[in-house]
Structure 1
Amino acid sequence: MASPRKLPAAAALGFLLALLVALTLPLWTQGKILAPLDITTNMLAPWNAKADGARPHNHWTSDAVTQYLPYRLFIEKSLKEDGYIGWNPYEMGGYSMAANTMATPGAWTMELHRVLPFKDAWNAGIVAEFLIAGAGMLVFLRSRKLPWLACLIGAAAYMLNSQFVIWVHHRWALGSFCWMPWVLWSALDRTSWRTPSVRQVALPLFLALAVLGGSLQHLAFVLLACGCLIAPSLTNNLRRPLASLPAVLPLAIAFAGALAIAAFSLVPQVQGYLANNAIGHTRGGIGYEFGPAQPFFQVFIIPAQIWPWLLGDPSTIDAFRGFKCSYMSMAYLGTIPMVLAIVGIFRKGMPAQAKWLVLVGLLIPPTPLAGP
């Protein structure tokens, strides 16, 4: 029998699990797959011949059927036939799948394709990552001594935030940032060099999982989130930079360890990126699609972070485009959590790291970069 102290934790985790099961029930009862596939019956030839005039209701869905599902299909075939992620002979005269950063070849969910049918491996991996995100945020918020109800609301809001849902079939947003609450939980523990805590030892592992779960593009956002943890110390010690070492050094060492763990996947991806650049196969270099002005326009759409429908939607008037943005760039957590987060910036009692995370989240578009 669970002790009274553990009952709230069990109940909160049970609620998150029940919520996920309810939201994903069609996956298990109707044989659905968690990727928007309207395009396979409504738009592209030869499937559009069977559409009977039906019109698609999803906006940008071609990536699922033309890229991300095939990536995993090829990788599954390679894992089962070769035992590792190797060569894809079916595209562009052949290429190394281990170097395809957008396929997230180092993600732990790839291992599910060794033992499960494709659809089950795809669905189970995504659902597990949602649960990892929710459980991680629950553990992190509780470690900050917040009430259980506030922790549960925050965990549910983070678990189902718009970036995870909208980009679900791309895999790198959820696959990377589902681990960030665990990174925060580990990184904000006390540092002891003689007797490191379990959280301190686990930090490089959680960072490595976050790096491996995303693409090279998303690594920039992992670095940015980690930077928010040391930003208060850096800004408070501008005239004495060495005074920031106690805050910077543990995280830097942990990140170095994470990169070493993830090197088996990162090195081929970096090599692939450099090789693509060498032959001129780029999408305009590193940075945002609309150039360096894109983050500047983010300031003007902060109200849309709270009420995204203020700027319309792709089915009616998509005013996001006027601000060099799109609804897919929104990191929407729900109106009430967003209002509370913004109000928290102006409260003295809110931790400095939390303020930095909120500010950066509001001002920096989490949209995919033009490269690498």
Structure 2
Amino acid sequence: MHTTTLSTAANGAIITDHRHQFLTDVIEGLSSSPKCLHSKYFYDEQGDKLFQQIMQCPEYYPTRCEMEIIRQQREEIIGSVLKYLPQFDVVELGAGDASKSIHLLQTVCNTLPDFTYYPIDISWNIIQDLEKRLPEALPGLRIHGLHGEYLEMLQQTTELSHRNKLVLFMGGNIGNFDARTAVNFCRELRRTMRPGDLLLIGFDLKKHPQVILDAYNDKQGLTRDFNINLLHRINRELDADFDPMLFHHYPTYDPATGACKSYLVSLEKQKVCIGKEATITFEKDECIFMEVAQKYSPEEIQRLAFTAGFSPVGSFVDASGCFADCLWRG
């Protein structure tokens, strides 16, 4: 097991740098028109817990559908990988709790005697948990967690290991980008990967609009709490004075474009102070754009792969046709 340790001084510097970037991004986002916040900041400790609960709620189908694919087709998936890569390491972008990837890792463990798993996540809590828990669940697994931005950490893995990589980008996380940004991200991903590396990437497929909208507006209010939690985090870490009760969670879905978007709507005219650095004015009914969850058709997936410089070599779909994990070759 590989572990990451930080000296007190180094850890303090990282925290300071993180706070500065967080502050800069929040002020820039809330000063723009329309106002926005970056969805990557959803995932503090409370945000992680809320998202785990969202994945278990009845309306949120993507997790169940992708889990079905991974559990029932994992041998076929890894078999397809081995056709191109007889030896490889596994890198996961946005590893989360690894509840899905652990099934693929088990299959790889049964097949390859020597590989390393590199989970990448922007949540330090997640990385610490994985490095402790996964070697207990999969004895002999070598794990080297990396905390940071996807592409920067992926580049680090190419320096840590000269093997080809199977890169996992599951959970429909590509949907966190709008269509244009997704193309740019996939192009950068292709440039960061070595020639011959494989990418297993998950897509939430277009389907009945109400099914999609319900998934982002669950009856328990977990998605609402997940969005509102970012205001609590800004209050706590940036000494802001948001009153979360003065904002309403509002999701939308456009079936023509496949864009599912979440907003927080200001219920009255108000001012919010971000520490001593900025004061933000909200008009009544003014919105903060929080996140997008982009949905794709099979044709759009193929087009994205080719545009970004990948060659599609496999597609694995759940029984209901709601979700697809696609294997692309760089």
TM over 0.5: no
Whichever of the two has the greater Rg, that structure is: 1
Higher strand share: 2
Q: RCO higher in 1 or 2 (8 Å CA, sep ≥ 6)?
A: 2
Normalised to the residue count of structure 2, the TM-score between the two structures is 0.30
Higher helix share: 1
